[in-house]
Structure 1
Amino acid sequence: MNPETIRRRRWYILGVLNFSLLVVVLDNTILNVALKTIADPEQGLGATQSQLEWAINSYTLVFAGLLFTFGVVGDRLGRKRVLVAGMAVFAVASLLSSYAQSPGQLIAARALMGLGGAAIMPQTLSIITNVFEPHERARAIGIWSGAVGVAIAIGPITGGLLLEYFWWGSVFLINVPVIVTGAVLIALLVPDSRNPDPGGLDPAGVVLSIIGLVTLSYGIIQGGERGSWLEPGVLGPIAAGLAVLAAFVWNEARIDHPAFDVRLFRDPRLSAAVAAIALTFFASSGMFFFTGFYLQSVRGLSALQSGAMLLPFAAAQLMFSTRSPALVRRFGAKAVCTIGLVLVAAALGAYPVLGIGTGTPLWVVGAAFFLQGAGMAVIMAPATESVMSALPREKAGAGSALQNTARQVAVAMGVALLGSVLASLYRGRLAEHLAAIPAGARTAANESIEGAHAVAERLGAAGLVGPADTAFVEAMRITAGGAAAIALLGALVVLKWMPGRAAGDAPRRQEEKGARDRAQV
């Protein structure tokens, strides 16, 4: 495909890439609405909370562990080719997930989906970086970031609609026709590109990263499941996971072709931008994990109604993501990212400050979702652009993989840590109300809020529902307060280390001016 044809088609190409990205991003948020159904032993698979956490984390950890490698593979073999291959794997894994017969099968199929997603995600941003000239790249990345945000938000409403009329597996089966359509459009419109000097592969780094992250996540989830963080079965895996990750960082810092180039973090603009993305998603992902249970189990909403509650988040993403580049031009990336993180912190802080609980008006919850969506929308575009513009164009795959790896690791750790903290707090507050419950039922009630409701219905212990709901919302408020503190930490990181407007934006403005001058010749 010649350069002039690519230039004319560039916005169509962007649309196709955003459509292809839809299934990867939508998948986790659509799953959040289905968690309650999957946990149901009759309508779903009877999964426990820890198994539900692994259903999310098996995807995100494999995704994160392979992102950087697939960025390099795309640079070497051709980004279009790797993108289509990743979509094929994702389609097969979606089909397997939809017909899983046990939580273990679902977790394994989700891990395979993570492999396909890791091949898809970095290619989309790499192709965008190569198709658009620097003076248009920020706008294109803003639209790409908006598509990511909208996919995050429409997942719950899509999942709710599917669960209203079909079985739980339909939330995965829906991926297949979307992928087939996307693959056809990619074949027709998207140009291929590759790095003329691609890096080498690092299988040892990939293995170390996945082992370290999985082991660390296992220890964290065990802490929440056991309700104690000082047992050998909890501290051992956490220490082992951290040790393996330390070995991973040491290995990556000394080899020529690392799977995750930690030396890139010497650039303060890049490292601060990656930190902003990671801390935003760490704080937000845990909230998305348990707000589904809050809306459906505690507030009694259907899956569809629960999904509709995320529409304010989607509206905020649409309103602010495309305006983010203009805000950056006016105020600078540092100011915009800081304000975005403060908005996210305010949204999460609303849970403990306003005492959101069993009787809070739903419009208050919707307003918190809107504020969170607005904050995330204005962060993503400037942070992503800061990462991509800090690297030369031929390293677009590495830059894309870098920020997406940070995001996926943050999602996995957020779900594991915040989910485990909530589970521990919930158990501690419910324990005194379970003395008269048989031992087996007590274990089920301790597993999750959904388990407590099932025990109350089965044993006719209606008096258990109120204390279980109260225990859950109290745990949710405290956990949300912790998540808000993490978002504020992100704001401080950006204020301290992201270069100001003059220092951080001058090289980019010079590059954009040169591109405009060349276009006029």
Structure 2
Amino acid sequence: MTVHPGVATPSLQTPGRLRALLVVLCAALALVVAGNSALAIALPDVARALGADQGELTWIIDAYALTFAALLLPAGIAADRAGRRNLLIGGLLVFGGAGIASAFAPDPAWLIGLRALAGVGAAAVFPVTLSALVDAYPESRRGFAVAVWSGVSAAGAVAGTIVAGLLLEAFWWGSIQIAFGVAALALVPAVAVLVAQRRDPTLSLDPLGAAWAVVALAGLVYGVIEAPQRGWGDPTTIAALGVGALALAGFVRHELRSAAPALDVRLFRNRGLAAGSLLVSLQFFASLALFVLAPQYLQLVRGLSPLEAALALLVIGLGVGAGTALAPSALRRVGARIPGTGGLLAMAAGFVLLAAALGRADAPGQLASPWLLAAGLLVFGAGFGLAVTPGTVLILEGLPAERRSVASAVNDITREVGGVLGIAVLSSALISTYRAEIAPALGSIPADAAGPTSAGAAAALGVAADLGDQGAALADAARAAFAAGVGTALWLGAAILAAAAITTWFLAPRR
């Protein structure tokens, strides 16, 4: 990288300072990773408090993930150009402020908008957490730092659900947003002291490429989320998907023709970068969707409290820890292809087990097949932990060293784009199945209650509570329909993961 006057360059770090940097950056990483999983555990409470339907609940999660994903690439370039410390501090301020404000949102629309703003802050935080670590740590210990970062990126989602569950035992859903917002603001002084201000002002921000990417993601995600409610043949759905596809083509064309592209798409001819991007995106396609769907199921269908639902999911962290511990040695011995493929297959197997455990409605307060649920979460977590480090390393090694923040942003984009699409696609599968399954029960309830009942299980259970004896049958039908929808989503996710594993085996380099 060219060194310019007034541009700080990394200095040798003492062991104590490296440890402090690792703690601070991983704390920032955990906050933005848990930004979705923590609120997901509270979605039933949000639905009751704000009157949100299932589509709005999906947007509450995806609005954050969408702006997060769409702005990661320009944020990575901005970090390399304007300075990593500056961008990280700005991101923490925006993330924290929007999070605190969202706790007092009066309706779903306000909450969706503030969640989107929090995603802007998260986009500024995420790429710096990895690039600053990679630059600060010597090559001999860089694998350790990346493994810790990868483990935190996976475990952060689990930790977020536990923290959220504990808060919901005593407070309302907005307490989660306040706690995470305050924690983000509290990290700012440590970041100002520990993170190096490395920058290269000659880099191009490529605003047109960023605009194409935002439009492409927004169109595709909007179409996928709205399709179950409007119909796949609805003009709005078709128009959104068409705009997204055209914008994606425009992004590729622009990047190919640009003299200073934000992301040279020709680099994806590198098999390692292509395989790593596929590997990471499909991991988060499945995992973020799981953290949105499973808590709702455990609370709405099984009648668990938010804390009980979070604790039921805790076993996934044990699997992630075991898989992450095995990944570095497997990567050194056999390369990325075997652990990457094996991890995806294990995740698919975990989804199959979870579909068997969650694809039916049991009596409220009871959790049938607890061992099957635990086994599914453990196997899924182990597969995730095993594959996430190889995927990250393949991406980092696929881009030049002087574009570390961009490489980190590519890694993060694949995660977040995969997560956005996973939440959208699997939630859409759930909604479609739920509506088909609940339809026979709509004829036996008042006409004005049919709309809310078909909008989602949380609303249906609220309607059932007002119908007296007649409501018991409706509540049972809603739980069964929601369980069937979760089962459909998990089977679809398992099939996608298995296909990705096969593709990774043939695409990834042998060593």
**Do structure 1's residue 173 and structure 2's residue 160 form an aligned pair?**
no
Unaligned runs of 5+ in 1: 502-521
Q: What is the aligned partner in structure 1 of residue 496 from structure 2? A: 486
| Cα contact 1:74–1:82 (8 A) shared by 2 | yes
Task: Return the offset for 1:184.
Answer: 1.9
Partner SS state of residue 466, structure 2: helix
Q: What is the aligned partner in structure 2 of residue 504 from structure 1? A: none
**Do structure 1's residue 500 and structure 2's residue 505 form an aligned pair?**
no
Which of 226, 236, 259 aligns to 1:222? It is 226
Which of 156, 160, 178 aligns to 1:151? It is 156
Task: Return the offset for 1:2.
Answer: 7.0
Q: What is the aligned partner in structure 2 of residue 505 from structure 1? A: none
Q: What is the aligned partner in structure 1 of residue 101 from structure 2? A: 96
Q: What is the aligned partner in structure 2 of residue 15 from structure 1? A: 23
Task: Return the offset for 1:361.
Answer: 2.2
Task: Return the offset for 1:464.
Answer: 0.9
Distance 1:447 1:167 in 2: 23
Which of 116, 119, 122 aligns to 1:114? It is 119
Distance 1:70 1:317 in 2: 28
Distance 1:138 1:339 in 2: 20
Distance 2:357 2:70 in 1: 38
Amino acid at match of 1:325: P
Q: What is the aligned partner in structure 2 of residue 370 from structure 1? A: 378
| Cα contact 1:208–1:248 (8 A) shared by 2 | yes
**Residues 127 and 376 of structure 1: CA distance in aligned 2, closer, same or farther (over 3 Å):** same
Question: Where does 1:28-427 land on structure 2 (aligned, <5 Å)?
Answer: 28-40=36-48, 44-195=49-200, 198-226=202-230, 228-353=231-356, 356-359=359-362, 360-427=368-435
Distance 2:466 2:442 in 1: 15
Task: Return the offset for 1:7.
Answer: 5.8
**Residues 389 and 135 of structure 1: CA distance in aligned 2, closer, same or farther (over 3 Å):** farther
Which of 466, 479, 482 aligns to 1:472? It is 482
Distance 2:34 2:127 in 1: 16
Distance 2:112 2:319 in 1: 32
Aligned residues: 496
Distance 1:138 1:213 in 2: 32
Task: Return the offset for 1:151.
Answer: 0.6
Amino acid at match of 1:490: A
Distance 1:363 1:198 in 2: 56
Residue deviations 1:162-211, cap 9 Å, x none? 1111111111101133123322222232322224x752012122222212
Partner SS state of residue 5, structure 1: coil
Deviates more, 1:18-27 or 1:282-291: 282-291
Task: Return the offset for 1:357.
Answer: 2.2
Residue deviations 1:332-389, cap 9 Å, x none? 2110011110110001112345674224322321221121111111111111011112
**Residues 407 and 2 of structure 1: CA distance in aligned 2, closer, same or farther (over 3 Å):** closer
Task: Return the offset for 1:214.
Answer: 1.4
Partner SS state of residue 99, structure 1: coil
Residue deviations 1:291-320, cap 9 Å, x none? 111100000000110111121012222333
Distance 2:21 2:381 in 1: 26
| Cα contact 1:149–1:317 (8 A) shared by 2 | yes
| Cα contact 2:37–2:160 (8 A) shared by 1 | yes
Distance 2:466 2:488 in 1: 30
Task: Return the offset for 1:9.
Answer: 2.5
Amino acid at match of 2:423: V
Distance 2:43 2:357 in 1: 26
Sequence identity, in percent?
Answer: 35
Amino acid at match of 1:394: E
Amino acid at match of 1:287: L
Task: Return the offset for 1:117.
Answer: 0.5
| Cα contact 2:275–2:394 (8 A) shared by 1 | no
| Cα contact 1:97–1:169 (8 A) shared by 2 | yes
Distance 2:354 2:13 in 1: 51
Distance 1:2 1:260 in 2: 24
| Cα contact 2:323–2:384 (8 A) shared by 1 | no
| Cα contact 1:214–1:241 (8 A) shared by 2 | yes
Give the superposed CA RMSD.
Answer: 1.7
Task: Return the offset for 1:126.
Answer: 0.8
Residue deviations 1:259-281, cap 9 Å, x none? 33322211110110110011111
Q: What is the aligned partner in structure 2 of residue 515 from structure 1? A: none
Q: TM-score, normalised by structure 1?
A: 0.92
| Cα contact 2:297–2:483 (8 A) shared by 1 | yes
Q: TM-score, normalised by structure 2?
A: 0.93
Partner SS state of residue 322, structure 1: helix
Partner SS state of residue 188, structure 1: helix
Deviates more, 1:336-345 or 1:306-315: 306-315
